[in-house]
Chains A and B, each alone.
Chain A
Amino acid sequence: MPRPPKFASVGAVRRSFAPWADPDAKPLIRFENVTKRFGDAIAVNDLSLDVFEGEFFCLLGPSGCGKTTLMRMLAGFEHPSEGRITLAGQSLAGVPPYRRPVNMMFQSYALFPHMSVEKNIAFGLKQDGLPKDEIAARVGEMLRLVQLERLAKRYSSQLSGGQRQRVALARALAKKPKVLLLDEPLGALDKKLREETQFELMDIQHELGMTFVVVTHDQEEAMTMADRIAVMDHGRIVQVATPGGIYEQPKTRFIAEFVGDVNILEGNVLGQENGLWHVQTPSAEAPLTIDDPDEVLHSGQAVAIAVRPEKMVIQRNPPGPGAVNVLTGEVWDIGYLGDWTVYRVKLASGAILRVTLANRSRFVESPIDWDDQVYVTFAPDAAVILAE
């Protein structure tokens, strides 16, 4: 029975901005069946991808998944072994890096050590042969944008990590490229600075209306900044979706486990009833009831049920008689994080669940303790079925 899609607006999505949902929209960057081999190794495997103008796009994946190679092909430092890449409809084949309307912010920042901050920022503009006063004006504008006016005459060896990151950003932005590529832009910064800078990058992108393509292995970074995320593994794209789509409706077990924390319950499909799936699992006595109508499954099929820790409820009292999805176990470990408490619950089957609870009040009358017998429940629509 057809039902309206449940996950139309999950996460913090700009509702007014979704060119990928518009069938008439022309992508700015298009990868068509791109393969890249290094000798025998395949870095990128028959990959197709569209990125739209004005998008903040994240390539996310573990190291060695091919995300950096993909970006370097866009910058022109590597060339596809097969397939083609187009930018605004123009093929990029044979266009050297210095003729592409694309600029890159390098992971190491790659600031020229023999030039001052302002000379670094002016470098790209000089290559274009702009008049001196125009260059000076643009450099000033960039310095203001990244708030480094006072450090214009400094050299990179005299700057802190955060300041270098800003210079690298200003230098890459100075030519107002169609696409800005950022390779692990925040990797070298400490946690606090990283979070601030994430929001700053978003503001700058919004202000300039530029297309940003970011490579990162940090899922939190991708979730915070991106309009859409492409999760990569072994040279292929596993899923392209909004952060909310990736988190709430992961397509595979790899994505569910790579992005955020997740509990996986393995089992076998019993059948469907009123649009709800029943799945038998060794982790619970009664079959689980899962509301994931988009999946096409058959009876007896082995599946994995993915439930996020914050979508589970933990309690000491047995739930009412009509309750579904009840798992019983004992508290194995408790981690108090201030805002959250993490409970690790050991089920009778031996599986360990991770359940998080927001600490909404400062005092709890009788808190759940180590070795307590507990009941863990979750709503049918809190879980996602992943075909094995």
Chain B
Amino acid sequence: MTRRLSLFNVTSLVIGFAFLYLPILLLVVYSFNASRLVTVWGGFSTQWYGALFRNEALMEAAWVTLRIALLSASLATVLGTLAALALTRYGRFTGRTLFTGMVYAPMVMPEVITGLSLLLFFVAIGLDRGFWTITLAHTTLTMCFVTVVVQSRLMTFDRSLEEAAMDLGAPPLRTFFSVTLPLIAPSIVAGFLLAFTLSLDDLVIASFNTGPGATTLPIRIYSQVRLGLSPEINAASTILIGIVTLGVVSATVLSKRSLLRSQRNAH
């Protein structure tokens, strides 16, 4: 492979990244705009960040979002890890293919449909819409992502490590906690971060299943934007982008490192 960057390569790189990130960059830049007009540059200022932290409605929404994200990501991590274990460990049980497909379905299902069907379900069982319905809905959405991440690690897991632990006298449960879990932990954390991030920025499913007192940040931003753009929202979005980026990057680094580790020990 040649390392020289040709004009063609540079151009396509710039155009590609510009296409992806220019709108976001613009939003970030305008969050530091001194002017009240969103589209006119009036000099650098951090005043909108200050205003943001004084805006109680937004701060309340942020707090709700954070709690939902933490809780649903934790639930999704436990359920997703268990699903991954079942799918990789119990061989070819009846209905395995169906089960695999069903676990992955929410990843490709249009969010509108997921949101709507969850709403119908919650109404049917008489659950009041609010904090808990969003949390459950997000758990449903994100657990399949955890499963995918953890499963890919388990595929490369050397089963003889577990056999060795059992051979040396550790019963199955102790084997799991002293050998399996420590070795797949990075991928579980990666799955958690991914689930957390997904819950944090979800608008569609949340808006279907929200209720009084459970307005998440994306819902709040969306409804405020409909009334008119405000630089405050730019600031809030910038912070959100920061958190999401951090989550995704650390999830990627963690799962990559965990995969490298398993390969290094496999040879």
Report if A128-B169 is in contact (Cβ < 8 Å); known contacts: A97-B163, A157-B265. Answer: yes
Report if A108-B179 is in contact (Cβ < 8 Å); known contacts: A97-B167, A127-B170, A157-B264. Answer: no
B168, B171, B183: the one contacting A123 at CB < 8 Å is: B168
The segment from A109-117, A249-257, A326-334, A374-382 found at the interface with B is: A109-117
Ranked nearest first, the 4 interchain pairs of A and B with the lowest CB-CB distance are: A124-B168, A127-B169, A110-B164, A110-B160
CB distance from A108 to the nearest CB of B (A): 5
Interface: B136 (CB within 8 A):
no
Is there an interface contact between A104 and B164, defined as CB atoms closer than 8 Å?
Answer: yes
Is there an interface contact between B169 and A110, defined as CB atoms closer than 8 Å?
Answer: no
A96, A107, A123, A128: the one contacting B165 at CB < 8 Å is: A123
Is there an interface contact between B183 and A113, defined as CB atoms closer than 8 Å?
Answer: yes
Which chain B residues lie closer than 8 Å to A96 at the CB level? 166, 171
Q: Can you name the residue of chain A whose Cβ is closest to the Cβ of B171?
A: A98
Report the Cα distance A245→B174, complex, angstroms: 46
Q: How many residues of A contact B (CB 8 A)?
A: 27
Is there an interface contact between A98 and B183, defined as CB atoms closer than 8 Å?
Answer: no
Q: Mark A70-88, 1 if CB is under 8 A from B, else 0.
A: 0000011100000000000
Which chain B residues lie closer than 8 Å to A175 at the CB level? 168-169
Report the Cα distance A157→B168, complex, angstroms: 21
Q: Can you name the residue of chain A whose Cβ is closest to the Cβ of B164?
A: A110
Report the Cα distance A302→B61, complex, angstroms: 92
Interface: B96 (CB within 8 A):
no
For window 138-187 of chain A, which residues contact chain B by CB distance below 8 Å?
Answer: 156-157, 171-172, 175
A103, A112, A113: the one contacting B167 at CB < 8 Å is: A103
Among A108, A110, A111: residue with most chain B CB under 10 A: A110
Report the Cα distance A102→B164, complex, angstroms: 12
Which chain A residues lie closer than 8 Å to B166 at the CB level? 76, 96-98
Interface: B158 (CB within 8 A):
yes
A99, A104, A112, A172: the one contacting B161 at CB < 8 Å is: A112
Interface: A258 (CB within 8 A):
no
Q: Can you name the residue of chain B whose Cβ is closest to the Cβ of A121?
A: B168
